[in-house]
Amino acid sequence: MKILVDLDGTLTHTNDIAFNEIKYGRNQTFQTSDIPVIEDAKNFIERLKALGHTVIIVSDSHHAYVNRLAKEVFCVDHLSLADKPNTSKLAEFLRKNFDFQEGSEKDYLLVGDSKLDIYLARALGIASVLLDFSALEEGNVRALYRARATRIKYGSTYYCRSYEEVVGVVENPTTQLLTLEHKSGEQTVRFLNERNKNGGLTMFRGLGRQNQGLCDAHGALKRYYAFQNQNRSEAFLQDISRDVSRYISELVSKNSKAHPWDYITCVADKTTTRPPRKMEAFLDALDVPTKKVNLFSWSDKVSGSIRQHKDTSSRYKFVDEFVSVTSDVDLKGKNVIVLDDQYTTGATADCLSAKLIDAGACSILFVALFYLADDVGPDVKCPRCGKDAKIKLRKSDGGRFYSCPPPEYGGSGCGWMKNL
């Protein structure tokens, strides 16, 4: 495998502006000993090489800086002034030196710490690791997790907190994938883990990326649209319920013997939801040891849709106003799993978890089947108006196409479209 590794922030503590003179090439008399290498970074690179992989540093910084670090400190090949997230320079470098071509994306992995790194990997169609060293131990836990959620939604294939975790991805890539992105995937993303006022834990999880635009081959966009499709088949429902049942039964329940889950429920379907009983039918199809109950209901006075509310605050108010917790089930001291189809801003998860806690529930595990990843477009311009084209997916058949979205579809383009 060819492992592309970012430099600043991934291997070195050089994101501070104090290093700009060196990184921009204005100071070329620096000593490599002046560069603070992240602890264990050199061992990390050596371990990847010992496992038989080719490591290549890919950096936006100046050649005079990157060249010396790559050769003298890490002893690997490199590309400087990479122009992330644009793909042309890196693609040409890989084609010329490593036979990169269509179909060989599976042989590559990019490791980086920033949005630009992940967008670059997604635009090339290769798997990526977001390496996040940020701490969660101090400060406002919810605010820190919101910042983490922003990074998760860059859309990386893997999310790691240490070099050791990255090595685990390299050694066992399929098991490290998300539950709804591969049959062997055992991972979820953590949008929240906090102690609540009832003494329990409130936890938000995501099982697959509903990627916007470009993504690596594992993105779950087709499964998301199939789940939302009014004509979804029973075979598809059984297929996805099997994967989620495995997650609930094996990765949640078996690891929670001292913390049993009393109930599993789903976000209620409105009468206008399509397909009808979308979440209720999915809950019915699950094969799990936890008791299934319906805990939420929509008000008869509800009008509109949460999708019409774009920001977190207005979404929260919408759910808070129109969704209530049933009084038929005693929740005092109980631990509850809640299933939803999508995590967009986290407003639904926040609001419904708060309602359950107010009703006396202890621990809440809110599981979103899919979470919305950032929109990453191709390096393609509309041939009619010259604006950036986006990649869209038809809900009817899953076909992908270039689009220059006009204002009526949330864009500022001319409406040009072309199938991929």
DSSP string across 134-147: ---SSS-HHHHHHH
Nearest-angstrom CA–CA distance, 115 and 93 = 21
The residue that leads in pLDDT, 404 or 273, is: 404
Is the omega angle on the peptide bond into residue 275 within 30 degrees of 0, that is, cis? yes
Angle, to 10 degrees, between the axis of helix 347-358 and the axis of helix 312-322?
40
Nearest-angstrom CA–CA distance, 246 and 337 = 14
Specify the pLDDT at position 409. 75
Q: What are phi and psi of 54, to 5 degrees?
A: -90, 125
Nearest-angstrom CA–CA distance, 53 and 63 = 24
Hey, which bits of 80-174 come out as E strands? 108-112, 127-131, 158-160
Compute the average pLDDT of residues 320-326.
94
Burial of residue 406 (number of CB atoms within 10 Å: 0-12, 13-18, 19+) = middle
Q: Do residues 17 and 26 make contact, with C-beta atoms less than 8 angstroms apart?
A: no
Specify the pLDDT at position 257. 60
Q: List domains and CATH numbers for the chain.
A: 2-171 (3.40.50.1000), 189-374 (3.40.50), 390-419 (no CATH)
b/e 131-161 (16+ beta carbons within 10 angstroms → b): bbeeeeeeeeeeebbeebbebbbbbbbbbbe
Compute the average pLDDT of residues 185-208.
95
Cβ neighbours of residue 167 under 8 Å, at least 6 residues apart? 44, 47, 48, 51
Q: What is the dihedral of CA 254, 255, 259, 263, to 10 degrees?
A: -50
Looking at 247-346, list the stretches that DSSP marks H as alpha helix, in order from N- to C-terminal side. 278-285, 312-322
pLDDT tens column, 221-274 = 889 989 998 889 999 999 999 999 999 988 786 666 656 899 999 999 888 887
Percent of the chain with pLDDT over 90: 75
Residue 143's Cβ-side half-sphere holds a number of Cα atoms within 13 Å equal to 3
Specify the pLDDT at position 388. 84
Specify the pLDDT at position 273. 80
Nearest-angstrom CA–CA distance, 326 and 359 = 9
Q: Cβ–Cβ contacts within 10 Å for residue 276, how many?
A: 12
Kind and range of the H or E run holding 366:
strand 364-376
Specify the pLDDT at position 302. 87
* β-bridge mates for residue 57, sequence order: 5, 78
Nearest-angstrom CA–CA distance, 279 and 273 = 9
- pLDDT higher than threshold 90 for residue 275: no
Q: Which two tokens stand for residue 148?
A: 């983490």
Cβ neighbours of residue 94 under 8 Å, at least 6 residues apart? 2, 100, 108
DSSP code at position 7: -
Specify the pLDDT at position 23. 94
Compute the average pLDDT of residues 350-364.
97
Compute the average pLDDT of residues 97-119.
94
Nearest-angstrom CA–CA distance, 226 and 280 = 16
Is the omega angle on the peptide bond into residue 407 within 30 degrees of 0, that is, cis? no
Q: Which two tokens stand for residue 415?
A: 């409406």
Q: Note the maximum CA span of the chain.
A: 74
**3-class state of residue 360 by DSSP:** coil
Nearest-angstrom CA–CA distance, 363 and 335 = 5
Compute the average pLDDT of residues 49-64.
97
- pLDDT higher than threshold 90 for residue 389: no
Cβ neighbours of residue 395 under 8 Å, at least 6 residues apart? 225, 228, 229
